[in-house]
Structure 1
Amino acid sequence: MNRIILGVDVGSTKICSIIADVRGSDVQIIGTGACKTQGVKKGAIVNIEQAGSAIRKSIHEAKLMAGVDVSKAIVSLSGAHTKSINVSGSANVMDREVNIDTINAALSFAVHNAGIPKDYSIVHVLPHHFRLNDKEHVEDPIGMTGSRLEVDTHIVTVQTASLENLKKAIRLAGVEIENIVLSSYAASIAVLHEDEKDLGVACIDMGAQTCELMIYDGNSMCYNDFLGVGSNHISSDMARFLNTPLKVAEEIKIKFGNLLPSAEEQNRVLEIPRIGNNEETIDVPLRDIYCVMGDRVKETLRILSDSIGTSGLKKQITGVVLTGGMANLKGMREFASAAFSPLSVRLARPTEIDGLFDTLKDSSSSVVVGLILYGAGNFTNYEKDSQNNIRSRHNALNMVESNYETQTQTMQTSSDFQIDLRDLDQPSADIPENQVGNASDSRDEKPSFLQRFKAWSRDLF
């Protein structure tokens, strides 16, 4: 059957829309649009009218290119206001053969007994391990004989108020929501290989204002976390350190961004403008800029590594896959390999799709490509989605509606809400003394810019 799918990634700096023509298992991109984000900060809607206007522009551009009209969209959801809970449950097997209704019942009871707060709404219910009677590690229980099905699930919830604000912004853009997908989950669909999923893997989407982590083990995602820091924080660190406009700092990052500069590059001196006086400039060695940049990245990777450790799953995974715009920074793989050791590290771009435009082949497009693939049926074997439907890869279109409130079978539960990573709003202050460079050849006794930056950082705390 021919279907038209619209995916909308509501990022913190860019809103990207893709329209795809899906014919069976074949997916073809037929339209794309992008617009600078407004009304969104660190993944959360802060101005509905501005966000809706920006989303509308992005969708309109994609519609013009595709030459079709689309009324519903699959939309990304930042992990900014989400909480996740792991629940183990069970269901009796009718007629001793597991079918989709058996799985649906088990997932519904997991939700019923999970104790979801009233002010939170469910986005995903993802079964990552099945057990049938005493048989462990059942990959797909459909059609198997048994009397009792047990399932370990990962449930992603979001603050209802935050979700409603996103829905309002999407409606202002002129479309309804077909489904909502966690950004890190969408990115993983676009970049992870099957063997990585089989062995266990962490996937991190590194954006402009956020980093979103998910861990895949067993049959699905079983952990996710959020960090309100991204590549924009590198620019803001440099702007403060250099006392230069943020726009100039961003240009320096784009042009000279390198975590592993050569000696020649470090010795180069830049002449940059100062804030408040367009005519005043200052000479700064690139080594100082590289130092500020490196410290921010090291700190970000360290906290992400700590989150993997906190998950309790580090021994169950064999590698880390990085995607998103921040992952494009030169030297990121080497820095990440040191931070996540002994895990292997891979930098990933979204999987190739027929008609994929060059602008969508960059790792910054992983989420929006993942949304299209999700709509085409490339999700985990089973899941209960944001619309309260159970999705099955056996038949991506055959979704069974569920009622969380009316199920009454019993199940075993154990849960622990994850705590979001702390936000790094302040710049890194741990700058090694041996990396300080003079701003000029002068023997003046004035403190260097790096030393003044350190002093400024200490004052913050």
Structure 2
Amino acid sequence: MVQPRFALLSLKKNDDGDIKILGAGIAKSQGLKKGIITNIDLASKSIRNALNDAKRVAGTQYERVIVSISGAYTKSVDSSGIVNIPNRDIGIKEINRAMQMADHNANIPNEYEKLHVLPYNFKVDDQEFIEDPLGMNGARLEVQVHIITAQKSSLSNLRKAVKSAGVEIDNIVLNCYASAIAVLNHDERELGVAVIDMGGATCNVMIHAGNSMRFNDYLGVGSLNITNDLSTALHTPLGAAEEIKINYGSLKSNSSELIELPVIGDDGSTHEVSLNIVSNVIYVRVEETLMILAKTLEDSSFKEQIGAGVVLTGGMTKLDGIRELASAIFDNVPIRIAKPREMDGLFETLRDPSYSTAIGLVLYGGGHFTPYEIDSNKKLRYKDETIEPTRHHQETFDDGDETEEGDIGTAPQADNAKEKLKDLANIQEEESEGFGSKLWNRLTQLF
């Protein structure tokens, strides 16, 4: 069966601040479903396998890791805090006090704990929209923050799985936040942008507006669902369906060429299917997924603040034609398909949208993050912070794409995408029974 994967990268941060990737380990994951750990022992074995691969490549031992967590575990809230500045000079301590006050004022359920406290607006006295209050003069400092929280039980399971693999967690990062660190450029951050990481089992969404993340969400659908659709619709085993997706996965193929496929449950038997049918099956799933994601952005109340449009990353974005379809569905806003940024030691395999989260974790570990942040260790991280050079550090992520080799392949754009989007107003953002039934009805109409 096709599996999502754990990817682990080791890094070295030199005295001059430069980051270099030393090694990588990739292992098919077990004990994980739609970004949620379902079996600690199996998940731990997968992490250990990736860890051992990275050790062999880098030739060093590791004790602590930075891990990502899927949006499936999380909820977010906004909060604010105000502090007086007796000496009128705003320094790091004053910014920390204001952020801690906003943290304290937040209404967080008992079963959740904070991962990120991210400031998106500072106010000095009566002056709003201060980009950075450091060094300013004022009697009062106010901050508005976006807080990412995660289920305590899920975090406990994650920590247990990692510890059983022989390492300790150094920090926990929301995966779409890590992906944004890896793929966004300066203009996109300035203008406001939505980042959607379309992975193997999930799609994770975040909106960056102002100085920070303002919104995040999660959809339990990914490219594994395409594999399952192909298997079901074409009556072929999952392994064969995965190969079809990788080798013929186009959204715009009109080819009548026939391919021979094994028949599920009938060893030795085969049948022929046209590539046009394959393309249609894939198109149905991708179109539905993009429509739900577009509805998520519509409902976020931040769509008017994404002047730079939508940045798509993750393994599912390797489908030929997904950018054109997304442009039609997202109301013709700018669409960019993004790979992780270049860095020293980046292997060719890692120059791929599938590894945006992993590369983002490397950069996060090296000091790239929102200018001010209270992290999962309740520590203030800030832009000019002196981060002690770490000889070796490795990052792993827990919600990746399926292990695919090569490009996966693009179907006619839907001229009536806007009308279809309106019809989805009541669709829930998680893959409910109603969504599955509706999708199946569309698939059966292809035959």
Q: Is the pair's TM-score, using the shorter chain for normalization, greater than 0.5?
A: yes
AA at the equivalent of 1:233? N
- State whether structure 2 residue 243 is matched by structure 1 residue 251: yes
Which residue does 2:116 correspond to in 1? Answer: 124
Map residues 254-333 of structure 1 onto 2, 5 A cutoff.
254-261=246-253, 263=254, 265=255, 267-318=256-307, 319-333=309-323
Q: Is the 8 A contact 2:80 2:105 kept in 1?
A: no
Which residue does 2:202 correspond to in 1? Answer: 210
Which residue of 159, 174, 180 corresponds with 1:182?
174
Please give the alpha-carbon distance, in whole angstroms, between the structure 1 residues aligned to 2:121 and 2:97.
15
In structure 2, relative to structure 1, the CA distance for the partners of 1:44 and 1:246 (3 Å cut) is same
Please give the alpha-carbon distance, in whole angstroms, between the structure 1 residues aligned to 2:441 and 2:35.
32
Please give the alpha-carbon distance, in whole angstroms, between the structure 2 residues aligned to 1:334 and 1:424.
27
The two structures have a TM-score, normalised by structure 1, of 0.84
Q: 1:423 Cα deviation (Å)?
A: 2.1
Q: Is the 8 A contact 1:12 1:43 kept in 2?
A: no
Q: 1:431 Cα deviation (Å)?
A: 8.6
Please give the alpha-carbon distance, in whole angstroms, between the structure 1 residues aligned to 2:312 and 2:293.
11
Q: 1:452 Cα deviation (Å)?
A: 8.0
In structure 2, relative to structure 1, the CA distance for the partners of 1:134 and 1:12 (3 Å cut) is farther
Q: Is the 8 A contact 1:56 1:173 kept in 2?
A: yes
Please give the alpha-carbon distance, in whole angstroms, between the structure 1 residues aligned to 2:327 and 2:294.
11
Map residues 372-391 of structure 1 onto 2, 5 A cutoff.
372-391=362-381
- CA deviations 1:88-139 (Å, max 9, x no partner) are 3222223111111112112112121211111101100000111111112111
Q: Is the 8 A contact 2:12 2:20 kept in 1?
A: yes
Q: Is the 8 A contact 1:296 1:428 kept in 2?
A: no
SS at 1:379 equivalent: coil
The two structures have a TM-score, normalised by structure 2, of 0.87
Which residue does 1:422 correspond to in 2? Answer: 430
Q: 1:285 Cα deviation (Å)?
A: 2.1
Q: Is the 8 A contact 1:211 1:229 kept in 2?
A: yes
Map residues 159-174 of structure 1 onto 2, 5 A cutoff.
159-174=151-166
Map residues 344-359 of structure 1 onto 2, 5 A cutoff.
344-359=334-349
- CA deviations 1:10-39 (Å, max 9, x no partner) are x97111111111113211111111111111
Which residue does 1:441 correspond to in 2? Answer: none
Q: Is the 8 A contact 1:124 1:157 kept in 2?
A: yes
SS at 1:209 equivalent: coil
Which residue of 342, 353, 362 corresponds with 2:352?
362
Please give the alpha-carbon distance, in whole angstroms, between the structure 2 residues aligned to 1:245 and 1:169.
31
Alignment root-mean-square deviation, CA:
2.0
Please give the alpha-carbon distance, in whole angstroms, between the structure 1 residues aligned to 2:319 and 2:436.
18
Which residue does 2:35 correspond to in 1? Answer: 43
- State whether structure 2 residue 56 is matched by structure 1 residue 84: no
Q: 1:223 Cα deviation (Å)?
A: 0.6
- CA deviations 1:160-197 (Å, max 9, x no partner) are 00000000001011111110000000000000001100
Q: 1:427 Cα deviation (Å)?
A: 4.5
> Could you tell which deviates more after superposition, 72-81 or 59-68?
59-68
AA at the equivalent of 2:85? V
Aligned residues: 405
- CA deviations 1:57-90 (Å, max 9, x no partner) are 1112112211222211010111112000111322
Q: 1:421 Cα deviation (Å)?
A: 2.6
Percent of paired sites with the same residue: 47
Which residue of 218, 235, 249 corresponds with 1:226?
218
Please give the alpha-carbon distance, in whole angstroms, between the structure 1 residues aligned to 2:49 and 2:196.
28
Which residue does 2:397 correspond to in 1? Answer: none
> Could you tell which deviates more after superposition, 176-185 or 85-94?
85-94
Which residue does 2:410 correspond to in 1? Answer: none
> Could you tell which deviates more after superposition, 88-97 or 165-174?
88-97
Q: 1:279 Cα deviation (Å)?
A: 3.0
Please give the alpha-carbon distance, in whole angstroms, between the structure 2 residues aligned to 1:376 and 1:198.
22
- CA deviations 1:219-243 (Å, max 9, x no partner) are 1111100000000101111111112
Q: Is the 8 A contact 2:285 2:439 kept in 1?
A: no
SS at 1:94 equivalent: coil
> Could you tell which deviates more after superposition, 270-279 or 334-343?
270-279
SS at 2:230 equivalent: helix
Rg: which structure is higher?
A: 1
Q: Is the 8 A contact 1:288 1:450 kept in 2?
A: no
In structure 1, runs of 5+ residues without a counterpart are: 1-10, 399-418, 434-448, 454-461
SS at 1:31 equivalent: strand
In structure 2, relative to structure 1, the CA distance for the partners of 1:428 and 1:269 (3 Å cut) is farther
In structure 2, relative to structure 1, the CA distance for the partners of 1:272 and 1:167 (3 Å cut) is same
SS at 1:109 equivalent: helix
In structure 2, relative to structure 1, the CA distance for the partners of 1:84 and 1:295 (3 Å cut) is same
Q: 1:308 Cα deviation (Å)?
A: 0.9
- State whether structure 2 residue 397 is matched by structure 1 residue 392: no
Which residue of 14, 37, 48 corresponds with 2:5?
14
Please give the alpha-carbon distance, in whole angstroms, between the structure 1 residues aligned to 2:28 and 2:159.
19
In structure 2, relative to structure 1, the CA distance for the partners of 1:114 and 1:420 (3 Å cut) is farther
In structure 2, runs of 5+ residues without a counterpart are: 389-426
Structure with the bigger RCO (C-alpha within 8 Å, sep 6+) is 2
> Could you tell which deviates more after superposition, 239-248 or 85-94?
85-94
In structure 2, relative to structure 1, the CA distance for the partners of 1:19 and 1:363 (3 Å cut) is same
Please give the alpha-carbon distance, in whole angstroms, between the structure 1 residues aligned to 2:93 and 2:86.
9
